[in-house]
Amino acid sequence: MKVQRGPSGGCELAKHPSHITALQVLEALEGRMGAVEVKSGATPGARAIRELWTRSTEAARDVLRSTTLADLAARQQALEVDSQGYSI
């Protein structure tokens, strides 16, 4: 982000939206997603849940990593057109 203070100020992306992923935005705001620790001596059930969480988090990270801000903006525009309810 580029920030300009003052009456004509504001915020601007430092890179083109097609070069910024949803994962980058999420992790910049919230930190790395999916870090789950299982203490040593954890039950097999706890270890199984951790494995499930790790796999599901990696799947979510893949989707977020492959989606850019430009993709989101294009999808928003498509949904806005769809919601206008054209009829003849």
pLDDT (tens digit per residue) in 36-87? 777 888 899 988 988 898 899 999 999 999 999 999 999 999 998 877 766 5
Structural contact between residues 70 and 17, judged by C-beta atoms closer than 8 angstroms: yes
As a whole number of angstroms, the distance between CA 69 and CA 85 comes to: 26
Record the pTM. Answer: 0.73
Q: How long a stretch of residues is the chain?
A: 88
E strands, the chain, are 2-4, 10-12
Work out the angle between the directed axes of helices 69-82 and 22-30 (0-180°, nearest 10).
Answer: 110
Q: How confident is the model at residue 6 (pLDDT cuts 50, 70, 90)?
A: confident
